[in-house]
Structure 1
Amino acid sequence: MGDKIVVGLDIGSTKVCAVAGRVVRNNKDQETLEVLGVGETPLADGVTKGSVVNVNNTVSAIRRAVAEASNQSNLNIHLVNVSFSGAHVLSVKSSGSITRSSSGDEIQVEDIDHLLSDMYRTSIPADKEIIHVLPMDFVVDGETNVNQPVGRNGVKLGADFQLITAQANAARNVRKCIMRNNLQQETMMLSPLASGLAVLTDEEKDAGVALVDIGGGTTELAIYYRGVLRHVAVFPWAGNSLTADIQSGCKIMPDQAEQLKKRFGNADPSEYNINEVVAVPGLSNRKPKDVLLKNVAVIIEDRLREIAALVQAEVIRAGYEGKLLAGIVLTGGTALVPGVEHIFSRVTGTEAKVGYPEHLEPNGRADLVGDPAYATAVGLVWAGYKTIDNRISFISDPARAAYIEEQTPAPVRPPYHNPVLSGRDKPLEKEPPKKEKGGFLSWLKEALQPIRGSETDPY
């Protein structure tokens, strides 16, 4: 096991992070993750609300992050576990079953694989794609709530499933970014599932827990109950929403708002006196602007309250209110805002704590990725060694090949000849511009024509 090295690639809304690591056994015979290399690249314009929107920018950010991790770990990286997210991700409940040909034999893992493969073929809209098929409870010959069917006798094997779907185009863009870096994707995993591998314990999953991953562009919720993932939801408000609120509330530039949030951000306004201010540099030749830190805290508190209320409403909608004995575990970069757990505890009436990637072999790089902002990247490395659900042998469609780019031939242009004008040839004149058809703007241009022709017209 110590020889296998896994690389996690987290494509987030504000950064791309690559982590190379391997699992080792420490002196107490516990499995710990040795971090071999870390690469991180800020991503300002490539991913919006968790979805890749600018492929070129994302491709170059991935290239830099992977190169950095590769240099640190002295590895030639070509295989990665990649994260996936987006506000369009949905959790759809469905059920399916198969009839086994040999009723005398016990149910095998292959039977579950067969059932899962069938579920990946479930009919969904053409613009959607099934990312994960995750079983909740199995049914064997009419007996419901079977946790582990392997080894039981039965003809009919069925299960209630959670189908996690996403926009097909968004999934395609992630594969495109991987392929253009000459990388191969081993697993594509929804971000909160990866984060859960890094910060949740088996006891928490058994008792019932809501993992809330508050990143830059999205807040992701994953509910575990009786050891099984039961529900997933993604909200398009997160750390960037806090920054935007500070920017508009304090009337400052976006990068200044981000700096204020990171250096002085607090979700508890009582931490600051009414007269504590920070001077924010003005635009060129303008005076610095004084910003009250109490105001910044009030803005952060309000937005986090809204996010906590959304999470609580989703927990109720999924039917798990009052059932989550392990409460809420907060992770992602925004979980570093002081006081965030108190807001979630107050709004949801459930105990909340911040989850950090644990079981890391102590070294300098482990210190670097030991905070909630790296939970997804670290979880993607763990995904090479442990599974979300040990009852199934794959969590993404084995039949779906990596993205294959179609090579479109470049158009062949005829060679350019400079026209030679003879005496009777007229000089080439430009064609008059073609009128645009319809549209409000063209109508407006025509309507203004007589006015523009008048002597008093300044144009």
Structure 2
Amino acid sequence: MQGIVFALDIGSSKICALVGEVRNRDLQIIGYGVAPARGVSKGMIVDVMEAAVCISKAIAQAEQSSGYQLARVFMNVSGEHIQSQNNSGIAAISSGKQNLGVTGEDIARALDTAQAIAIPHNRQILHLLPRSYTIDGQTNVRSPLGMHGFRLEVEAHIITAATPALQNLTKCAQTVGIQVEEMVLNSLASAEAVLAQAEKDMGVLLVDIGAGTTDVALYNQGAATFTRTLPIGSSHISNDIAIGLRVPFDVAEEIKLKYGDCRPEQINPTATFSVEQFNDEKIQVGRQDLAFVIEARVEEIFQFVLQAVQDSGYTGLLPAGIVLTGGGAQLKGMPDVANKVLGIPGRVAAPRNLNGLVENINSPTFATSVGLLRWAMSEHNVYKPGERPAEWGRRLTNFFRALLPG
């Protein structure tokens, strides 16, 4: 793929627009814009016009820095309305007289049967992700294209979303004059930016801690097998600080960023800092006391994550550990608390292999933004729910042909 790709990352605390240039499958960041988020709560739009104003500001910055006008964007989706399940599908392999083996159309027909699930009228399929294939009883086939047989089975991970939530996101984009090319689940986008293929193959848990939500994605044998969005994030930590110290939320956020640590046992018990409360009274706050408040909320976040892992059925099958990303992951001691609660070692990850204007976005905060661009680079290899099998089959076949030498 060659060309220009655009990403729009709508979060609860910030909105980011990125412009990338793809050359020979390499991504170059050539423009970006960031604006504080308004009209967004826990990953969902709560005020279209207010959110649209913030989106417009981020887009204007990205267009000015890149010299390109954003027209069609890849946009993230988050929120408690996200649901997922696994299902299987079957199709006869119809290679016919040409003896081609499994074709892209065969794969698409198998996926089409996998997506035949009962969902309420106010929900729709957001992603249909193949996990593994079976050909005539041969299991764990990664890529069946070109293989021979009579019966193709697919195990798929299906992610659904509330239709009104997606419509509100689209409305925000259209209000500022841009079209949505595709919506991508937050955790899947972040995974594209921070996970290595080896981690996905071994078994890894991605935890993207945003301001209003925490997005979880579990990968095993190279594919996403479980996803969940939790209605808790780093803004809950700031809210605890604001209530405990009786200070405005923005002051609590500054305190968290400057003094925050979720390992009270490593903080000097005599260390303090000064803060001015609502009544203009200045008080001294113990840094260890602050750490105890933060630790309690962070442990709660990872208890939710632990429950998600247990629900997935993959407990004990994550040899590559936990990869933490998102703005909330930058709080000191996060991997330590994750290990304490889940019993799995972890690391904090920023986007990998960045080129171009990366100085200000080489941070876990921009994992989703960068991941949207990487998703855009490979989107022609993704089966879109509702797409005709023949259309996707041709796209998939052409994709693999493009990878062949000569």
Q: Which residue of 2 aligns with 1:198?
A: 193
Counterpart of 2:155, as a letter, is D
Tell me the percent identity.
35
> CA separation in 2, counterparts of 1:101 and 1:209?
36
Structure 1: distance between partners of 2:27 and 2:282: 47
| 1:9-53 residue CA offsets vs partner (Å, 9 max, x unmatched) | 10111111011112347xxxxx65322111011114x12111112
> Displaced runs of 4+ in structure 1, greater than 6 A?
none
What is aligned with 1:156? 151
- Residue 172 of structure 1: which of 145, 167, 173 is its match? 167
Gaps of 5+ in 1: 26-30, 400-459
Q: Which residue identity does 2:71 align to in structure 1?
A: H
CA offsets 1:182-224 (integer angstroms, 9 cap, x no match): 2122221101111111111111111111010000111111111
Give 2:67's match in structure 1, choosing from 63, 74, 99.
74
Aligned residues between the structures: 386
Match in the other structure for 1:245 = 240
Q: CA RMSD in A?
A: 2.1
Give the SS at the match of 1:213: strand
Corresponding residue to 1:96 among 89, 96, 112: 89
Pairing partner for 1:383 from 366, 370, 375: 375
Cα deviation for residue 114 of structure 1 reads: 2.8
> Structure 1 residues 185 and 270 mapped into 2: Cα distance closer, same or farther (>3 Å)?
same
Shift of residue 331, structure 1, vs aligned partner: 0.0
Residues 243 and 261, structure 1, Cα contact 8 Å, conserved in 2: yes
Q: Secondary structure at the match of 2:358?
A: helix
Give 1:134 shift: 0.8
Q: CA deviation at 1:282?
A: 3.3
Task: Report if the CA contact (8 A) 1:32-1:359 is conserved.
Answer: no
2:332 pairs with 1:338 = yes
Distance 1:32 1:216 in 2: 30
Decide whether aligned partners of structure 1 residues 397 and 66 sit closer, same or farther in structure 2, where only a CA change above 3 A counts. Answer: farther
CA distance in 2, matches of 1:277, 1:212: 31
Paired residue for 2:104, among 101, 106, 109? 109
TM-aligned CA distance change 1:56 to 1:119, over 3 Å: farther
Give TM-score, length-normalised by structure 1.
Answer: 0.79
Higher share in helix: 2
Which residue number in structure 2 is paired with residue 311 of structure 1? 305
Deviation string 1:346-383 (CA, Å, 9 cap, x unpaired) is 2211110001112112x5x3010100000000111111
Distance of 1:95 and 1:344 partners within structure 2 = 33
Corresponding residue for residue 453 of structure 1 = none
1:208 is aligned to 203
- Do 1:20 and 1:38's aligned partners in 2 also have CA atoms closer than 8 Å? yes
Distance 1:250 1:231 in 2: 38
Change (3 A) 1:398 1:55: farther
Partner of 1:65: 58
Which amino acid in the other structure matches residue 394 of structure 1? Y
For 2:364, the equivalent position in structure 1 comes to 372
2:3 counterpart SS class: coil
Corresponding letter in the other structure for 1:264: Y
The corresponding residue for 2:383 is 394
* Counterpart residue identity of residue 21, structure 2: R
Q: CA deviation at 1:75?
A: 0.8
Q: 1:98·1:156 contact (CA, 8 Å) conserved in 2?
A: yes
| Secondary structure of the corresponding residue to residue 359 of structure 2 | helix
Whole-Å separation in 2 of the counterparts to 1:144 and 1:381: 32
**Structure 2: which 5+ runs fail to align?**
389-406
CA contact (8 A) 1:132 1:397 kept: no
- Higher Cα Rg: structure 1 or 2? 1
Tell me the secondary structure at the aligned position of residue 125 of structure 2: strand
Q: Counterparts of 2:383 and 2:290 in 1: how far apart (Å)?
A: 45
What residue in structure 1 maps to residue 349 of structure 2?
355
1:7 paired residue number: 6
